[in-house]
Amino acid sequence: MKYREAGVDISRAEDALARIRDRVRATKRPEVIGDIGAFGGLFRLTGTDTVLVATTDGVGTKLELARLLDRHEGVGTDLVHHCVNDALAMGAEPLFFLDYFSTATLDPEVFARVVGAMADACRAQGCALLGGETAEMPGMYAPGAYDLAGFLVGGVARDRILDPAAVREGDVLIGLPSSGLHTNGYSLARAIVAKRAHADEREERAVLDAPRPELRGGTLGDALLATHRCYLAEVRSLRAAATVRSIAHLTGGGWEGNLPRALPIALGAVVDRDSWIVPPLFRMLVEWGGVAENEAFDTWNMGIGLVVAIAATDERAALRALPDAIRIGMVERARPDMPRVRWA
């Protein structure tokens, strides 16, 4: 199976952005730093060395699993953590967060579970939940369905911004394990679950609730709804111990869609695929769906949620600072007519 066959074509988003890129650039004010395509937008505050970093995202069709299994708290946490991680990729600390919750008919209990979890996640990360919008739109959503979006603003001193231009050939790539799919690739995962349910002549809920020996007796539903890991504490520790050049948050588009965003255009990454063990959840989805290896790595994080480029001389210090970190590769010259991520 392929992500495109599940209804998501990443190239469509690239084409859509290309159509409005010049019009977006035309809105640029003198305070704006950088261009479109980073993990967050940078806006300089006049009269101070502080730069604001703005990020926005959603939870995708993971929401459908939350609805099916009545597990709404996790997606509220996911939304905050995803946005915090995107801000971290720019070097920023989270400051405040806003949310958008839309549905056909508001269920106060579900709303409280989702947004209450957002508030708890914001508090845990030292981030204010500053406000939000709740919209009832009859006819726009199926009964029980809702959508979420989050907007986070962080702050970073100008000289602490993480800029891909700082990356050098020979820098080491450190990977931090993910807690699962995080918030991306769920349309393909759900299509695989539906295919399995059809083959087994069972309901999807039964497939999700059944204990799986491949998951050490856990259920597929639990594994798919595992909370998107927040890397704030780890990045703080890493920046105190090593020279961090840049960070890639592996989200939609997988490895090729995200790791090159943290590198200068002339450089690529060589990644040792044997440096970590792909978690059982991903292996199960690949097997059940007959997903090609390159398709899996272009859709999911495959067990690594954050990749950090550091100076080679700081490798030992970085690995000491983060016990679960893994050296996964290094930065090299980009090869003409080849993907920017090369597997070794």
Three state DSSP letters for 237-261: HHHHHCCEEEEEECCCCHHHHHHHH
Least confident of 28-32, 285-289, 331-335: 28-32
Say how many Å lie between the first and final Cα of the chain, rounded: 24
Residue 19's pLDDT is what? 76
Handedness of CA 180, 64, 258, 87 (dihedral sign): negative
Handedness of CA 234, 236, 242, 248 (dihedral sign): positive
Calculate the average pLDDT of the chain.
91
- For residue 44, pLDDT beyond 80: no
Can 31-160 and 164-343 be said to share one CATH topology? no
> Please, what's the b/e burial string for 154-168 (b: 16 or more CB within 10 A of its CB; e: otherwise)?
bbbeeebbbbbeebe
Distance from C-alpha of 251 to C-alpha of 85, rounded to nearest angstrom: 10
Residue 45's pLDDT is what? 75
- For residue 70, pLDDT beyond 80: yes
* Domain residue spans of the chain: 31-160, 164-343
Q: How far is CA 214 from CA 186, 195, 218, 274, in A?
A: 20, 18, 8, 20
Per-residue confidence at 274, pLDDT binned at 50, 70, 90? Answer: very high
- The domain defined by 164-343 carries CATH number 3.30.450.70: no
Residue 25's pLDDT is what? 72
What is the pLDDT averaged over residues 247-270?
Answer: 95
Give the full edge-to-edge strand order of the sheet including 93-103. Answer: 32-33, 41-44, 50-58, 146-157, 93-103, 128-136
Chain segment 111-155, per-residue pLDDT in tens: 999 999 989 999 999 998 888 889 999 999 999 999 999 999 999
Residue 46's pLDDT is what? 72
- For residue 17, pLDDT beyond 80: no
Per-residue confidence at 48, pLDDT binned at 50, 70, 90? Answer: confident
What is the pLDDT averaged over residues 174-196?
Answer: 97
- For residue 211, pLDDT beyond 80: yes
- For residue 261, pLDDT beyond 80: yes
DSSP 314: G
- For residue 37, pLDDT beyond 90: no
CATH architecture, range 31-160: 2-Layer Sandwich (3.30)
Residue 9's pLDDT is what? 65
- For residue 6, pLDDT beyond 70: no
> Please, what's the b/e burial string for 298-327 (b: 16 or more CB within 10 A of its CB; e: otherwise)?
bbbbbbbbbbbbbbeebbeebbebbeebbb
Residue 253's pLDDT is what? 87
Residue 221's pLDDT is what? 97
Q: How far is CA 49 from CA 45, 277, 319, in A?
A: 7, 42, 31
Residue 103's pLDDT is what? 93
Chain segment 291-320, per-residue pLDDT in tens: 999 999 999 999 999 999 999 999 999 999
